Amino acid sequence: MNLRITAGQRVFNVFNLAFLTAVGLLMFLPFLNIIAQSFSDSKAITSGSVGLLPVDFTIINYRYVFQDPTIWRAFGISVLITVCGTAINLFMTSTLAYPLSRPEYVGRKYVLLMVLFTMIFHAPLIPLFILVKNLHLMNSLWAVMLPSAISAFNFFVMRSFFMNIPSELIDSGRIDGCGEMRMIWSIILPLSKPAMATMGIYYAVYHWNSYTHALYFLNDRQMYPLQLKLREMINRDSLALDSSGSLFSEMLHMSPEGIKMATVIVATVPILLIYPFLQRYFIKGMMIGSIKS
């Protein structure tokens, strides 16, 4: 059936498209300026002549970043935290969300109230610090990954998805002799790819961009993730020394700002490259709970 679009709707669509385009440009232009500065010469950056395009194009800033072993170590730690932390998040969130989505489990309402309480009232920093210290997790990567093992918001989203799985499908699995673990592994999880991919993106972006827990709980600079390393570089207006103790010979073509911008790009691009591979699952996952039968 073809629906006729009125003149008012056309005007609204044009205005809406123009407004969203303007908002998108406002969000993208600063990132484009960062890219331009990362490929620009030090004199152009210092003079403030870099706009949306590089001035005196050079890749010396990226050469510096890629030859700095501390940045590569921080990059590897961030990858480790993101992969392991996301795996822990998905495992803990799904194992809590599935039983609380089934009506046959007694007492689930009280557990849901406790989870909802943590969603409204977050734990203060000092009790969290004391807890991590008493668990002997200080100065370890576990202190970065375990305190955020379950997000209450993501838990409710995943529980909503599990609730939409037909109970007849679960009953048929039980009739065929599937235990709970076999049913979760063979039936529930294969049907939950959109939800798992969506939650995986949320958790991965959180771990990749997070630096507060690392700042609070990590004392060893050798264990700093990439975001904390970037914060350290931004706060320190000087170039790092290479392994021989001297600055690069091309330092006249570099600037601290160019190094920082190149590091920002290196820290941002990896997580952006993950999205295209999970886009179709992400779009499906965004519809979780929007339609009720």
pLDDT band with cut points at 50, 70 and 90 for residue 254: low
Q: Which of 152, 159, 157, 154 is nearest to 116 (CA)?
A: 152
Q: What is the DSSP letter of 254?
A: -
% of the chain beyond a pLDDT of 90 = 4
Give the chain's mean pLDDT: 79
Q: What pLDDT is attached to residue 238?
A: 47
Task: Walk me through the domains of the chain, giving residue ranges and CATH numbers.
Answer: 61-286 (1.10.3720.10)
Dihedral sign, Cα of residue 167, residue 168, residue 169, residue 170: positive
Alpha helices in the chain (DSSP H): 7-38, 42-47, 60-67, 69-101, 108-120, 125-134, 142-145, 152-163, 167-175, 180-183, 189-191, 193-209, 212-217, 226-235, 256-286
Q: What pLDDT is attached to residue 246?
A: 44
Alpha helices in 135-211 (DSSP H): 142-145, 152-163, 167-175, 180-183, 189-191, 193-209
Dihedral of the CA atoms 216, 266, 83, 240 (nearest 10)?
-40
In the predicted structure, residue 9 carries a pLDDT above the cut 60: yes
Q: What pLDDT is attached to residue 282?
A: 60
Token pair in block for residue 136: 């002997």
Q: Higher-confidence residue: 47 or 145? A: 145
Q: 202-219, pLDDT tens digit by residue?
A: 888 888 888 888 888 888
Q: 60-78, pLDDT tens digit by residue?
A: 888 877 877 888 888 889 8
Q: What pLDDT is attached to residue 237?
A: 53
Q: Which of 270, 278, 274, 213 is nearest to 76 (CA)?
A: 270
Tokens 């998805």 sit at which residue? 161
C-beta separation of 57 from 39 below 8 A: yes
Q: Which of 275, 280, 286, 240 is nearest to 260 (CA)?
A: 240
